[in-house]
């Protein structure tokens, strides 16, 4: 039984998009995840959009939009702004359709994504790096469009783009033979949630639709709380594929009516999830692609015994960021701790810390010491990695007893930001 939602895109438009992208965009698999299902006592499926030719779902909306433009709309080229994945989709579409495009990307975009854009677009695209966020790039792209009379291909706030993303929903419903209780979707600008949400409200209205955002960029959650679309003044850019200051105008109205709830995930849990799926399943997912999987941990009680689908939106992970991800994951799990320790300036002080303070499974993973002349104690920044988070309290107690406990840095954001 279908449900009529005022702010949604029609199934007719999404079926039309499905035909338009056929033969270019892959129908990605819906994979049953045995280890996650056993861990959460549920039936967990991943929709593997990381297996697209551009390693993200963004090609769906980009190709559907560009192939539908008229000759007049294409004559001065197209322009887009993107943190990476939409840019790759646009670049691929430009190359396939032999359309010239200019792509604006934030300066902070991982190099891997920039190089991928150039590879997919070939001679048909030019990349321009501008600003520190998607919003900065979007403003520059809009000015470029006005100056050159080019056509702007929005990454999410466009009906043709939303329809293209909605084709994921058609595939999910077609590929499963049971009712889906929960669907977790990453939310950045809201195009994916708007398109897929429209499909599910029409064809599977009993499914709970949850939009998942990074805690450092909760543009939808913040707007829903305020009752109107609002712009965040500051965002954490780590989850680059979902870090936007303001969700789309269309997509805000769609998500407001379509979603049953939203959730925000801290960056540490996202990193822990990335490492988990890599180590256990040999899957490479990017931070935005891990959002829906990470949400399982925060909904583990509600999903017991249920059928759950997570949309894995992309796998464009920059390998140079893996050390940072490991660090963030260890901090989130309570396995990495930083201190300022003031060592007595005498021989044997460090040995005393290692022998009498550290536990048998504790490891010094970071050490920076500055010797101060004419002082009885010298400060050192020490990072200690634990095997179990339960080892933290005994460690602190031994540090206090031996007079080594100085300042704990994990809870001091002003100082801690310089360590990761």
What are the DSSP calls for 118-175, one per residue?
HHHHGGGEEEEE-SSSHHHHHHHHHHHHHHHTPEE--SSSSHHHHHHHHHHHHHHHHH
Token pair for 112: 């891997």
- Looking at the DSSP bridge assignments, the partners of residue 209 are 183
Residue 326 pLDDT exceeds 50: yes
Judge whether 127 lies within some domain: yes
Q: Is 149 a catalytic residue?
A: no
Q: Domain boundary at 120, 152, 184, which?
A: 152
Residues 347 and 314 in one domain: no
pLDDT at residue 313 greater than cutoff 80: yes
413 — pLDDT class (breaks 50, 70, 90): low
Burial class (CB in 10 A: 0-12, 13-18, 19+), 334: middle
Report the pLDDT averaged over residues 189-197: 97
Q: Can 313 be counted among the known catalytic residues?
A: yes
- Model pLDDT, residue 2: 45
Does the residue 6 lie in any domain? Answer: no
Q: Which domain holds residue 266?
A: 11-57+165-328
Exposed/middle/buried for residue 284 (C-beta within 10 Å: 0-12, 13-18, 19+)? middle
Residue 209 DSSP label: E
Residues 193 and 282 in one domain: yes
Q: pLDDT tens digits for 204-240? A: 999 999 999 999 999 999 999 999 999 999 998 889 8
Mean pLDDT of 109-121: 87
Q: Count how many domains the chain has.
A: 3
| pLDDT reported for residue 82 | 87
pLDDT band at 320 (very low <50, low <70, confident <90, very high): confident
Q: Specify whether 102 is located in the same domain as 222.
A: no
What one-character DSSP code corresponds to residue 408? E
| Proportion of the chain above pLDDT 90, given as a percent | 76
**In a shared domain, residues 182 and 198:** yes
For the segment 404-419, the average pLDDT, to the nearest whole number, is 75
Report pLDDT for 415.
63
Least confident interval from 74-88, 205-219, 276-290: 74-88
The predicted pLDDT at position 233 comes to 93
Q: Are 292 and 179 found together in one domain?
A: yes
Out of 47, 58, 65, 201, pick the active-site residue.
58
The answer as to whether 308 is a domain residue is: yes
Clarify whether residues 255 and 323 are in a common domain: yes
Q: What is the CATH number of the domain that holds 373?
A: 3.30.70.260
What is the pLDDT confidence band of residue 419, given thresholds at 50, 70 and 90? Answer: low
The chain-wide mean pLDDT, for the chain, equals 92
Cβ neighbour number for residue 107 with a 10 Å cutoff: 12
Inform me whether the pLDDT recorded for 247 exceeds 60: yes
CA distances from 244 to 114, 132, 199 (A): 18, 11, 24
Flag whether pLDDT at 374 surpasses 80: no
260 shares its domain with 223:
yes
Residue 160 lies in a domain: no
Establish if 350 belongs to a structural domain.
yes
Q: Are 209 and 197 in contact (CB under 8 A)?
A: yes
pLDDT at 365 over 50: yes
Of 75-89, 94-108, 257-271, 401-415, least confident by mean pLDDT is 401-415
Q: Do 321 and 238 belong to one domain?
A: yes
Tell me if 258 sits within 8 A of 198, measured CB to CB.
yes
- 6 — pLDDT class (breaks 50, 70, 90): low
1 inside domain: no
Beta bridge partners of 182: 208, 308
> End of a domain among 310, 328, 346?
328
Give all strands (DSSP E) within 180-282, no chain letters. Answer: 182-186, 208-214, 261-265
Across the strands, what pairs with 43?
A: 307
Catalytic residue among 194, 204, 219, 313: 313
Q: Residue 337: which of 394, 392, 413 has the closest Cα?
A: 392
Q: pLDDT at residue 1 above 50?
A: no
- pLDDT digit string (tens) for 142-192? 999 999 999 999 999 999 999 999 999 999 999 999 999 999 999 999 999
Q: How far apart are CA 76 and CA 151, in angstroms?
A: 7
Q: Are residues 318 and 193 in the same domain?
A: yes
In a domain, 347, yes or no: yes
Q: Which two tokens stand for residue 279?
A: 């180590």
5 within a domain of the structure (yes/no): no
The separation between the first and the last C-alpha atoms of the chain, rounded to the nearest angstrom, is 51
List the strands of the sheet with 182-186, edge to edge. Answer: 30-32, 43-48, 307-312, 182-186, 208-214, 261-265
The answer on 113 and 76 residing in a single domain is yes
Please tell me the predicted confidence (pLDDT) of residue 147.
Answer: 95
Range 283-300 average pLDDT: 97
Query: Residue 78: is its pLDDT beyond 90?
Result: yes
Higher model confidence: residue 3 or residue 397?
Answer: 397
Say if residue 49 is in the same domain as residue 69.
Answer: no
- CATH classification at residue 33: 3.40.50.1100
Least Cα distance to 64 among 134, 132, 5, 15 occurs for: 15
Instruction: Kindly give the pairing relationship between strand 101-105 and strand 125-129.
Output: parallel
The arithmetic mean of pLDDT across residues 19-34, rounded, is 97
Say which residue, 238 or 28, is predicted with more confidence: 28
Domain stops at, among 152, 175, 203: 152
The whole-number pLDDT of residue 191 equals 97
Please give the pLDDT value at position 319.
80
* Residue 150 CB neighbour total at 10 angstroms: 21
What's the confidence (pLDDT) of residue 150?
96
Return the SS3 of 202.
helix
Same domain for 388 and 263: no
Measured CA to CA, the distance from residue 195 to residue 214 in angstroms comes to 20
pLDDT at residue 272 is higher than 70: yes
Task: Report how far residue 101's alpha carbon sits from residue 95's, in angstroms, rounded to the nearest whole number.
Answer: 9
Higher-confidence residue of 134 and 221: namely 221
Using the predicted structure, report yes or no on whether residue 268 has a pLDDT greater than 80: yes
- DSSP states along 90-107: HHHHHHHHT--EEEEE-T
The predicted pLDDT at position 4 comes to 47
Greater pLDDT, 252 or 316: 252
Q: Is the pLDDT of residue 314 over 60?
A: yes
């Amino acid at each position: 039984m279908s449900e009529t939602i005022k702010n949604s895109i029609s199934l007719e438009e999404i079926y039309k998009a499905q035909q338009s992208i056929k033969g270019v965009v892959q129908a990605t698999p819906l994979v049953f995840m045995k280890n996650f299902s056993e861990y959460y006592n549920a039936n967990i499926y991943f929709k593997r959009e990381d297996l697209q030719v551009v390693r993200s779902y963004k090609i769906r909306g980009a190709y559907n939009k560009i192939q539908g433009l008229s000759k007049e709309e294409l004559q001065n080229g197209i322009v887009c702004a993107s943190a990476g994945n939409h840019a790759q989709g646009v670049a691929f579409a430009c190359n396939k359709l032999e359309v010239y495009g200019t792509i604006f990307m934030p300066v902070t975009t991982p190099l891997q994504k920039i190089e991928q854009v150039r590879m997919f677009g070939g001679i048909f695209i030019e990349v321009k790096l501008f600003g520190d966020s998607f919003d900065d790039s979007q403003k520059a792209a809009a000015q470029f469009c006005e100056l050159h009379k080019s056509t702007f291909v929005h990454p999410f706030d466009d009906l043709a783009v939303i329809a293209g993303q909605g084709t994921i929903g058609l595939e999910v419903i077609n590929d499963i033979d049971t009712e889906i209780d929960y669907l977790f979707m990453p939310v950045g600008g809201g195009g994916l949630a708007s398109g897929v949400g429209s499909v599910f409200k029409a064809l599977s209205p009993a499914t709970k639709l949850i939009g998942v955002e990074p805690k450092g960029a909760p543009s939808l959650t913040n707007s829903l709380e305020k009752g109107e679309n609002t712009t965040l003044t500051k965002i954490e850019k780590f989850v680059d594929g979902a870090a936007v200051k303001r969700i789309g105008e269309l997509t805000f109205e769609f998500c407001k009516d379509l979603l049953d709830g939203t959730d925000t995930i801290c960056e540490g849990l996202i990193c822990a999830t990335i490492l988990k799926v890599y180590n256990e399943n040999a899957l490479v997912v990017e931070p935005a692609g891990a959002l829906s999987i990470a949400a399982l941990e925060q909904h583990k009680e509600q999903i017991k015994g249920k059928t759950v689908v997570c949309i894995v939106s992309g796998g464009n992970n920059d390998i140079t960021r893996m050390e940072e991800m490991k660090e963030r994951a260890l901090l989130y799990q309570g396995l990495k701790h930083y201190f300022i320790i003031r060592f007595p300036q005498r021989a044997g002080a460090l040995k005393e810390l290692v022998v009498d303070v550290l536990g048998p499974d504790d490891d010094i993973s970071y050490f920076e010491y500055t010797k101060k002349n004419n002082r009885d104690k010298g400060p050192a920044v020490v990072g200690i990695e634990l095997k179990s988070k339960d080892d933290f309290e005994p460690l602190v107690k031994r540090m206090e007893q031996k007079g080594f406990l100085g300042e704990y840095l994990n809870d001091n954001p002003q100082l801690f930001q310089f360590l990761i």
